[in-house]
Structure 1
Amino acid sequence: MSFRKSYVYNQNPTFTPPKNNKRRPYFICFAMKKASEIDVARCELNYVIQPKNVKTGIPLKRYRRLNEHRASAMRAMVLAMLYHFNISSQLVQASVEQLSDECGLSTLSKIGNKSITRASRLITQFMEPMGFVTCKKIWDRVLGNYMPKMITLTPLFFMLLNISEKQLINAKNQQLGWINKNLIIKGLKPISAIEAQRRAKDTQMRNLFKYRISKHNFYKKRKHAQRIIALDEKEARQKILRALVGKYSISELTKLGPSGLKKQVNISYYYLKKIATNTYPDN
């Protein structure tokens, strides 16, 4: 096989829903069915729209036809974005990394580093300049860096599937009706479409912050465990022992006794060994 044919990992990516495959609204199921029946990568829009630089709005030069590797990635990505689409907020409720994983576009190097370049470039170098999606990066004041992009699907995205803006608006109105029905059942006042959109965005932001902090704390904890486990075992156990002695009161240490304290050191040591090699749950 020539290098030209084999340089792309997973030449036939497909979208695989997450394990907690949740029931999706009728409109999402309808749109996903359309996306499965239509070749979105060869849609006429891909040939007549002039892509633009996202920051400057200046038209970009491009090839008339998507190469087959990017086309196959787009077919999978459109399904993934639809599955995670929130009708009220118009946001894709998944990170680029999650979309990449579920489409089989992520790769791992020999030393275990993940790359989502293929998915990221599809979005930032094609789908966004074409106007199918818009992406927003938000600065995380807690961790001091940017959070994963928040992706919005535009009406043009749905035109790839022959779904009009009117059908999209009808779907939003139906979703709003369902939201208000549940609010009324709970004895609460109904809300407007703008308020529903704001609430959906706020919920996604809160979930994203929780996820980020959880992931940050996990890696911080794993790094600490790796530092200790990298030591000579005797030295590592002594370090754990000193930490435990500082943690317990004199009465607690007396109650534990030498054998109880030794048992706690063993438990902590093997726990740290496990943490040191763990990966974050979403991986």
Structure 2
Amino acid sequence: MQTNNNTPLQHCNRVKNANPNYTVPSNHTTRLAFVRDLVEKSQKINIVKSDAAVYMRPATNRKKIYYPDREKAMRALATVFCEHVNLVTHQVQISLRNAADSCGLSTISQNELNKTKVDKNYAPKPSISRASRAFKDMVDLGWIVAHKEWQVWDKHAGQWLDKYFEVTELFFKALGITPERVARQRDARLKYLRKKGINSGLTADQLGFM
């Protein structure tokens, strides 16, 4: 524990949630088998120490190892991303803010809690800085593509959020999934969507846009 000389409040350097994790919602009953497999692999395999991670380390600016807290944050986010990945576009269909909330990486500062004591109607703003740092490491490792123009400003949180981002081939490799299997899953999903679209009466142009 450390004490700030300017205030009687004490704070701890340890993270608020030492073991972030993601639990699949009970209403996710129609998940694809491949998605279920991805989630299970992400919980069993330490992707931060995978061959794909080790191979990419020299290409990053980070020289130090990933400390346990950062490693756990990256693994927790990976599981969330596996649950929400689109098998055709590889877009992760959940915002980083919601992903952080769902695996326990969001925090409320003491300053925000103090504001609620002063104003009972005040809604404290959560911080996702821990998730953001882990997310940046995943981008640096080549697992995630998240261009700046894809970001959006969250007025409530007062910070930038990654509204649109995609997992890459390296992300799947880190989970032990070969590019060939990923391609087969994409083709199978496209075939299903095409058949579903035709049965729904969509035109060729509408199917192509979809």
- Equivalent residues of 1:51, 1:131 under 8 A apart: no
Following TM superposition, the consecutive aligned residue runs of length 4 or more in structure 1 with deviations greater than 6 angstroms are: none
Match for 2:14: what amino acid? Y
Q: Equivalent residue for 1:244?
A: none
- CA–CA distance in 2 between the matches of 1:192 and 1:175? 17
- What displacement does 1:188 show? 3.1
Structure possessing the higher relative contact order (Cα contacts under 8 Å, 6 or more residues apart)? 2
Bigger radius of gyration: 1
Residue 15 (structure 2) pairs with residue 8 (structure 1): yes
Cα RMSD for the two superposed structures: 3.0
- Equivalent residues of 1:51, 1:129 under 8 A apart: no
Alignment of 1:186-201 (within 5 A): 186-189=200-203, 195=208, 199=210
- CA–CA distance in 2 between the matches of 1:154 and 1:171? 14
Q: Percent identity?
A: 27
Return the match for 1:123 from 120, 131, 135: 135
Deviation by residue 1:222-266 (Cα, 9 ceiling, x = unmatched): xxxxxxxxxxxxxxxxxxxxxxxxxxxxxxxxxxxxxxxxxxxxx
- CA–CA distance in 2 between the matches of 1:19 and 1:6? 34
- What displacement does 1:34 show? 1.6
Alignment of 1:1-283 (within 5 A): 7-18=14-25, 20-50=27-57, 52=59, 59-63=60-64, 65-109=65-109, 110=113, 111=115, 112-124=124-136, 126-136=137-147, 137-138=149-150, 148-189=162-203, 195=208, 199=210
Number of matched pairs: 185
Q: Which is richer in helix?
A: 1
State which drifts further: 98-107 or 177-186: 177-186
Unaligned stretches of 5+ residues in structure 2: 4-11, 116-123
- CA–CA distance in 2 between the matches of 1:75 and 1:184? 39
Match for 2:24: what amino acid? P
Distance of aligned partners of 1:166 and 1:100 in 2 relative to their CA distance in 1, 3 Å threshold: same
- CA–CA distance in 2 between the matches of 1:154 and 1:176? 18
- What displacement does 1:149 show? 3.2
- What displacement does 1:69 show? 0.2
Task: Determine helix, strand or coil for the equivalent of 1:150.
Answer: coil
Match for 1:80: what amino acid? V
Task: Determine helix, strand or coil for the equivalent of 2:19.
Answer: coil
Task: Determine helix, strand or coil for the equivalent of 1:181.
Answer: helix
Match for 1:184: what amino acid? I
- CA–CA distance in 2 between the matches of 1:91 and 1:71? 23
